Structures are given as structure tokens and as C-alpha cells.
A and B are shown apart, each in its own frame.
Chain A
């Protein structure tokens, strides 16, 4: 009984954080039931995660842009444009993949920095500066693909990024061993960091959950990681896209929660004047966040182009709005200073799951848009409501 009460309180106090996970779970279970288990099949889950990748990395970047009270509309076509450049470098210039990818990432950083300079140094509102970028990159992508139309890529290494899987080491009874190993490592790392964190909190007399709840939490999350790994491992194993996504999440989560830079980003977002008077260089932070946005746009472009194995004239259309929607579903606040990397990723997964599930069910494109719009509105309504409750 005591346990139940504590769990209730915990959920009530963290409703915004848990709400997202619960929503994702509910959506997944619903689709599983509606599609007679087809949704939860190894093949589909693998497919779902791969198709979420290019929006998820954009969502992480744009979440930070929104945290510092700006917006970036140019990221979709920037991703598409850089994808086209990658295709040209690979196919027409004949550069090897391991040179093309760094070049594209650096170009992304440069493009993002230009936006950053316009916003931070020149003082143009981000909406306008990036709307200009939206138009420019849209033109640029048409220009790049003008002569050839769609550029087909036949570089296996490049195409593996969006379609390939990590080597399996050994297949035991249809299960890929290395993927399992990665999953097991993730679980060990998760449990280790949670226990360390809890010990610390106890040391400083901070409020911690009871031992029972804590163990329940560990078991629950480990089970989920384990289950998903199992599902993926019994298909083709972990895809490179998933690995890249996990890396982005891990690195950005670390930066935002553990580093000086992360603290400065949230400080600038919650009160730019106070940040400035605390000796934080607001324009430098703004520049960095837009620079990172540009890099993630480049990464998104690589993922998408590789997944399609070609650069098309319309690549990147509406990516920016999907990413922004994912960030908001993930709990970022337009007022600045609030937002989590994990939230953005979950937001992207929620949106991708909706699309994937409805596709499986054969729902038409028109109702799909309406339903996704409704979910976005609901998420933000929920957000506003829970914030009010706490205030």
C-alpha cells in the first residue's frame, strides 16, 4: 500500500516527464492491438527507428534553439541541400565516404554559424533570418540537382548509414550477438549510473525514492531496453541509424546536463539579461547553438540521403516543422529555458510511431495529418496544464 502511494506521488510530481513515456507506451500498445501484433514485429520496430532518425537528430538541435528562445526554419532544406552536396561529392567528384562526411558536417556547422551570426551579432530576429535561409537553401537544392535531377548513390558504405546494420559477430539461433551485447552494456551502464546517482543523493541528504520503487524503476527501464534490443537483435540487429541516434542523444544529453556549456545554454534561455550579467557570453552561446543546429542538419541530411540512396530535388521539405513539432511534443517551452534532449527524442519517436502505426493500418494521409496535429496540440495543452498545476 505504501508502495502504491509513493508511486502515485511520484507520477503526480513528475507527470510531465512520465506523461511522455506513458503516451508513447499507450500509442505503441494501441497500435499493436489494432494491427494484431504486426506493429511490434522486429521488422517494423527496426523500420520505425530507422525512419525516425533524420527527424530525431533535427529535433534535438532545434530543441536547444527553442530553449535559447529562437527558432530555426532553415534546417529542413539545409539538410536536403547538404544531402545533395554529399551525393555530388560522392558520385560526381568521386570522393570517398570518410572524407565526404566530415566535409558535409563542417559545411553544416558553417551554415549554422552564418545563421548564428545574423541572429547573435547583427540582431536579426531568428524567424526572419532562418526564413531567408529556408528560401535560400530551397533554391540551392534545386540548383544543385538542376542538371541531373535525382542523383542515385551507389556507394555501399554511404548507403549503409541509413540502411545497414552493425556486424553481428555471431548469430545464435537467429539473434545477433553484438547487438545483444550493446544492449546489455547499455543496461549495465544505466544501472551503474542510477545507483551512483542515488548514492550521491543519499550522501547529501536529498530526497530519494524508496528502495522498492528504485528497484522497480531499474527493472522496468532495463526490461524495456532489453526487450527492444531483443526485438532488434532477432531481426537484423542494431542499425547504424540507431547507433548514430543513440550517440547524438548520449552526447547531447551529457553536454546539456553535465557541462558548463549546457548550463550556460539553459541560463541564456531562462534569462538572457541575468546570463549576461553573470559573465556568460550570450552571443557566443547563441552562435554555438546555431552552429550545432547546422551540424545536426548536415547529419540529418546524410541520414536521409543515405536512407533513400539518392538525393532528390524535394529532400528536406517540411523536416523543420516535423522537428519543431517533435521538440514541442517532447516538452520544450517556447518561453525558453526548459527542454530536455530525452524529451526531444521521445517526441520524435511519438510522431514517428503515429505515422508508422497509421501507415500499417492503412489510414489515409489526410486523417494522418489531422491526428498528428491533434496529438501535438494535446501535448502542449497537457504541458501548459501541468505547469499551471505546479505553479
Chain B
């Protein structure tokens, strides 16, 4: 009988009448890497918030047994003291502080309240070595990439004498290299006896790293799979997550001939005065009517920057080169002009710069095209309701009504709202930046289906994506970017994972 470091027994948590978790049992053995998988809204994060004391003892039912003792965490510090550290998807680092201060923030090396910087730096170096990160501890966080920042978070956790490390989608923002790096670090830590719980949407990662995987669906534990018994594979996990078999997650669309160029860029170079370098270099690309063009590349390869420079130059880059919409050269100085020219951009960060979270679905959908439902500046609310209802049904936004506040929707439904907003604008070219990031398999399929429908209606799509499967499954043609340049162009027929990665890492 192996030893459990953590047992969560019959955990039930309600939010004003809605059961987020009902009788969840979750057991983690000492020294294993245990993955927690489930669709968005299944209750994974809630469970982890209970474990880390964000939801204090008394607000839930059930028991937490950690290290053989029943625990009652009243606040986050209680769980940290017990040796449980959680690293959230959104990193909690201070960009303007150096690495060493970040590692020891809240846990400062001090003598009677006076900081000991020398000791802090020495300790930081030791911790950085542990996470295989070679940076000067005096570097500012903002000067590091996301991958390295993630490692700093882990170093921070190690500084607290962690026994159980919880990672909430640690690789969501990482490129494949950094992800692999992180996973091998987790294996390393496992050898040192640190138990790890990882929430992840990336099944490949789960398969490669997990000793056990627990699937949660609709607030209940569905099963715990054991790698040693060969139970952890894509089909089994997906089947348990959604409760149904998914045959093909990339819906087919009828092949057809493409029309003329909708968008063309020639020798497009964008200089970012804030960064002091070119974010796009000499880009030449074209998108034809009725085509899905994938833009692959690693994080930081300049894909989002390219999209923003096309979409009304939101970041005020200095631009050289020409942009043609349907063959005519145009100059787009503001997002307003880009929208008028028929270009729409669905952001990768829907919560940060995509949606108005405090407003309802209706207001969000109409936000970019209020002119379409108003006369003389006065909004026709009936028309607005019709429009919102139309998209709610046709895109399949799951909500009680179009008056529901967007902030309360799940990630997938938020993405659908974001998409609806732009469909209502009726663009010729839709730029989708990471359209399925952080959303569950079911919602992904629905979004792919919508994309196919749009193409059938004669729209064109640029899809920026870090998921190779998605790029390969959906695109008619693929550009691969690295360091702000287009490193290669592949047709759907010739493209495969190896070729893309080869170009992306040039």
C-alpha cells in the first residue's frame, strides 16, 4: 500500500445555489506527478483553490488530509506553511523588480526587518541552479521571456520548502521548447521527492509526464488513470473528459477554388519604438478569398505583432511596406479604419483586451458595430437583441440569456462571444489569434465548425496558432514565422509537424 501525501475526501462546494463540486475524491501519492484534467468549468481550479486555502475552511464540505493530518486552511499562508504551493496560469511576478527580489517576495531574507540583499542573491543563485535557469539574479523580470518567468515562479515555490507543488496550466503560454524544458524540470523535482499536481489542457503533455491522471467532469471525479497500467492515452482521457467519443476534432470542409487576393503585404516591416527593434521584418504574404491561412511559430516569433500592425497599427509601430486590401493599397492608421476596410482581429487575450467582462453578452456582441444597429447615434435596442439572439443560437453560446454578464461565462463561451462580435461586423478577412487557447475540446470543435462555415460564405481567415495540430488540421496554407520574419510557406499537403518546427526554430 503506497502512501498518500494528499487525500481530499467528499469535497462539495457551492456558489450561491450552484454546485461547483459535488463529492469529489482526489488522492495523490507521495512523489508522483498527478495531472488533473477536465473541460473548462469542470471544477479543477475550484478544487485547487480549496486545497490552497483561497476558499477557507468552512466554505466547503469534506476533508483535506495532507501528510496524514486533517487540515483546516483558513488562508493561503496556512497552506503554504504546510508545504503546498500553487502557481497560477497568470504569473504573480513583479515586472519591475529583479529576479532575486521576486523569488523571495513575501518570504524575504531579513534580520529584524532589515533585508539582507547579499544573502538573498546567494540563495537566489542556488534556487536558479535548481531550476536549471542561467540568468543573473539581478535581471528585471520584464526582461525575461514567459518561459523563464515560469521557472522563476517555480524557484519561488522551492524557496518556501515546498512539498506539494500545484501548477495551473503551466505551459499554456509557453512555446514547445520552453514547455519541454519545464516538463523535464518537473521530472527532476520528482526525483528530489517533490510531489506535483498539474492542471493541463494539453493532452500530449499529460501523456508524457503523468504518473496518474484524474479526470473531473461537471464537478465530479470521473476516474483516476494510472500510467503504470497503460491507461493514460489520448482516447481514454478525451472520452472521460467529454463523456463521448470524438472521432475527428477537425471538421472537414468542402474543397474549392480560392478567389483573388483579399489581403496582400509586401515588404512589410514594423518597428517598435518602445522595444527599439523591428517586430516584423520584410514580410510578404497574401490571403485569398475563401482561404484559411495558418501562421505558425513559437511564442515571441512576432505573429501577434504582425496581426496588430495590419489591424490599424494599434501599437503605433513605425511601418514600412505596402498593404493591399482586394488589390487596392490602403493606409490603416486606426483600428476604426481597419474595420472599415473589412479586417477584423480576434485577440489572443480575450479577458485582457477582447471583452468587456462587466457587460452582458448583448453589449459585447454589438460593441464593434454599433453603427449597424443605430440611427443618428441612437441605438435600436430591439435590433440589438435580435442580433445578439441570432449569434447566441447560430454560434451556440451557452448562457441563460443574452443579458448574462460575460465575465461569468466559461472560456469557450467567452471566445464565442468574442467571435460573434467580429462576425457582426461582417469582415472580409478575419484574423484569429490563438482562437482556441484555454478552451475545452467540445468548444474547440464548435469554433472550427464556425470557421468552416465562414469560409463557405466567402470570408477569408488568418489563423495564428501555437497548436501544431490545429494549424495542420485547419489551414489551406501555412506560413511559419520566427523572429518577425516569414521563414517559409507550406501548402496543406506538404506540411507536417517536423517541417513546421524546423522552420520555426531556424
Tell me the A residues contacting B by CB distance below 8 Å.
Answer: 200, 203-204, 206-207, 258-261, 263-264, 266-267, 270-271, 273-281, 337-338
Contacts and interface: CB of A to CB of B under 8 A. Distances in A.
Given A200-B381, A279-B335, A279-B339, A267 B374 contact: no
Interface stretch (B36-44, B199-207, B248-256, B350-358): B350-358
10 contacts: A200-B381, A200-B382, A260-B374, A260-B377, A267-B356, A270-B359, A271-B356, A278-B335, A278-B367, A337-B358
Max chain B Cβ within 10 angstroms of own Cβ: one of A271, A273, A275, A337 = A271
A271 B352 CA distance: 8
Nearest to B425: A279
Contacts of A267: 356, 359, 367
B307 to A, nearest CB: 11
A142 to B, nearest CB: 41
A277 B385 CA distance: 23
- Counting chain B residues whose Cβ lies within 8 A of the other chain, the interface size class is 35 or more
Nearest 7 CB-CB pairings of A with B: A273-B353, A278-B368, A279-B339, A260-B370, A279-B336, A270-B356, A279-B335
Interface string B340-372: 000001010000111111110001001110110
A263 B381 CA distance: 12
Contact of A207 (B312, B345, B401): B401
A277 B401 CA distance: 25
B314 A271 contact: no
Contacts of A273: 352-353
B334 interface: yes
A204 to B, nearest CB: 5
Given A274-B353, A274-B356, 19 more contacts: A200-B382, A204-B382, A206-B403, A259-B377, A260-B377, A266-B359, A266-B363, A271-B355, A275-B356, A276-B353, A277-B347, A279-B335, A279-B336, A280-B335, A280-B336, A281-B336, A337-B358, A337-B359, A338-B358
B46 to A, nearest CB: 14
B417 to A, nearest CB: 12
A259 B374 contact: yes
B433 to A, nearest CB: 10
B314 A277 contact: yes
> Which secondary structure dominates where chain B touches chain A?
mixed
Contacts of A258: 378-379, 381
Contacts of B338: 279
Nearest to A336: B358
A101 B363 CA distance: 38
A25 to B, nearest CB: 28
B476 interface: no
Contacts of B379: 258-260, 263
Given A260-B379, A263-B379, A270-B359, A279 B368 contact: yes
B23 to A, nearest CB: 25
B148 interface: no
Interface string B303-336: 0000000011010000000000000000000111
B389 interface: yes
Contacts of B416: none
B10 to A, nearest CB: 26
Contacts of A337: 356, 358-359
B354 A204 contact: no
B356 A259 contact: no
Contacts of B352: 273-274
A274 B379 CA distance: 20
A260 B367 CA distance: 9
Nearest to A389: B16
Interface string B383-403: 001000100000000000101
Contact of A261 (B356, B366, B367, B377): B377
B354 to A, nearest CB: 6
B350 to A, nearest CB: 9
Nearest to A205: B401
Contacts of B389: 204
A267 B345 CA distance: 17
A267 B363 CA distance: 9
Contacts of A204: 382, 385, 389
A259 B366 CA distance: 12
B421 interface: yes
B310 to A, nearest CB: 13
A273 B377 CA distance: 23
Contacts of B385: 204
Nearest to B336: A279
Contact of A277 (B335, B377, B382): B335
A275 B339 CA distance: 13
Contact of B334 (A200, A206, A263, A281): A281
Nearest to B15: A391
Contact of A263 (B336, B363, B382, B403): B363
Contacts of A207: 401
Contacts of A263: 363, 366-367, 370, 379
A274 B355 contact: yes
A278 B401 CA distance: 23
A274 B314 CA distance: 11
B357 A278 contact: no
A61 B185 CA distance: 56
Given A200-B381, A200-B382, A206-B401, A277 B354 contact: yes
Interface in B238-297: none
Max chain B Cβ within 10 angstroms of own Cβ: one of A273, A279, A337 = A279
A233 to B, nearest CB: 33
A264 B369 CA distance: 11
A274 B335 CA distance: 11
B468 to A, nearest CB: 27
Contacts of B377: 259-261
A278 B312 CA distance: 11
Nearest to B354: A274
B342 to A, nearest CB: 12
Nearest to A274: B353
Max chain B Cβ within 10 angstroms of own Cβ: one of A204, A267, A277 = A277
A266 B311 CA distance: 23
Nearest to A197: B381
Nearest to A264: B370
A276 B311 CA distance: 11
A338 to B, nearest CB: 6
A269 to B, nearest CB: 9
A266 B353 CA distance: 15
A203 B314 CA distance: 41
Contacts of A277: 311, 314, 335, 345, 347, 353-354
A260 B380 CA distance: 10
B425 to A, nearest CB: 8
Contacts of B421: 278
B166 to A, nearest CB: 23
A258 B378 CA distance: 6
Contacts of B311: 277
B356 to A, nearest CB: 4
Nearest to A271: B356
B193 to A, nearest CB: 39
Contacts of A264: 370
Contacts of B334: 279, 281
B335 to A, nearest CB: 5
Nearest to B373: A260
A63 B138 CA distance: 44
B62 to A, nearest CB: 23
B378 A259 contact: yes
A279 B347 CA distance: 13
A281 B356 CA distance: 16
B90 to A, nearest CB: 16
Contacts of A279: 312, 334-336, 338-339, 368
Interface in B395-429: 401, 403, 421
B404 to A, nearest CB: 11
Nearest to A270: B356
A271 B339 contact: no
A280 B334 CA distance: 9
